[in-house]
Structure 1
Amino acid sequence: MNIEQTARDFFEACETGGGWEACKGYCHDGASFACQADALAGVTTLAGYAEWMKGLLGPIPDGRYDLTAFATDAGRGTVVASAVFHGTQTGTGGPGAPTGKSVASDYVYVMRFDGGRIAHMTKIWNDSQALRQLGWA
């Protein structure tokens, strides 16, 4: 399997709330994660991020993505995916009672590969905008 297909499969598994169980086959054990967003400040592993995404679909049960771009830089072993996350907070598990508010939040995944598996992922995301849209900030 090439890195683009691996990245696509990982993206789908992660964004649909499969958690680490669904994502780990595409990643190195101990794959790292980084994001300059307060909402993810304590998340440093891809396993932790996959579980965070799974948990997000509790308060936002209709959470879904609209993929806007997907690019592979084979020479650098990197795949970049750009998308918009959409959903409405109607479920439980958020910071309070359901707000009924919707979100449309742009984000980018930068997935770096080593030996055909993801070794590190950086998420580029403005969490402040997303949290305000949901009524959480």
Structure 2
Amino acid sequence: MSIEQTAREFFEACETGGGWEACKGYCHDDAGFACQADALADVTTLAGYAEWMKGLLGPIPDGRYELTAFAVDQDRRTVVAAAVFHGAQTGAGGPVAPTGKTVASDYAYVIRFDGDRIAHMTKIWNDAHALRQLGWA
């Protein structure tokens, strides 16, 4: 499978809340994760991030993505995906009782490969803006 196809399938599995179980087949077991956002400060593995995304769909059960760009840099074995996350906090499990507020939050993934599997992913995201939209901050 090409890195493009692997990245697309990983993206879908991660963004729809499949958790690490649905994502691990596309990744090295020790795949790293980084994001300069307070909401994800303690998440350092892709397994941890996949589980965080799965958990996010509890308080935001209609959470979904709108893919806005997808590019492959074959020379650097990197894929970049940009999207907007949409949803409303109507479910339980968030930091506050359901607010009913909606979010439309831009983000990007920089997905680096080692061989045919994902070795590391960086998320570029303004968490403070997203949390304010939801009434969480």
TM-score normalised by structure 1 residue count: 1.00
Q: Following superposition of structure 1 onto structure 2, how do residues 74-89 of structure 1 map, counting pairs within 5 Å?
A: 74-89=74-89
Q: Distance in 2 between matches of 1:131 and 1:29?
A: 30
Structure 2: which amino acid aligns with 1:45?
A: T
Q: Which ranges of structure 2 fall in alignment gaps of 5 or more residues?
A: none
Q: Distance in 1 between matches of 2:51 and 2:31?
A: 13
CA RMSD of aligned residues (A): 0.2
Alignment-derived partner of residue 18 in structure 1: 18
Alignment-derived partner of residue 122 in structure 1: 122
What displacement does 1:96 show? Answer: 1.2
Q: Distance in 1 between matches of 2:133 and 2:69?
A: 23
Question: How many residues are paired up?
Answer: 137
Q: What does the per-residue CA deviation read over 1:53-96, in whole Å, with 9 as the maximum and x for residues that have no partner?
A: 00000000000000000000000000000000000000000001
Q: Distance in 2 between matches of 1:93 and 1:42?
A: 19
What displacement does 1:45 show? Answer: 0.0
The question of 1:60 aligning with 2:60 is answered yes
Q: After TM superposition, where is structure 1 displaced by more than 2 Å over at least 4 residues in a row?
A: none
Alignment-derived partner of residue 29 in structure 1: 29
Alignment-derived partner of residue 91 in structure 2: 91
Q: Distance in 2 between matches of 1:51 and 1:93?
A: 14
Q: Secondary structure at the residue paired with 1:8?
A: helix
Q: Distance in 2 between matches of 1:117 and 1:109?
A: 15
Q: Secondary structure at the residue paired with 1:97?
A: coil
Q: Which ranges of structure 1 fall in alignment gaps of 5 or more residues?
A: none
Q: Distance in 2 between matches of 1:37 and 1:4?
A: 26
What displacement does 1:100 show? Answer: 0.3
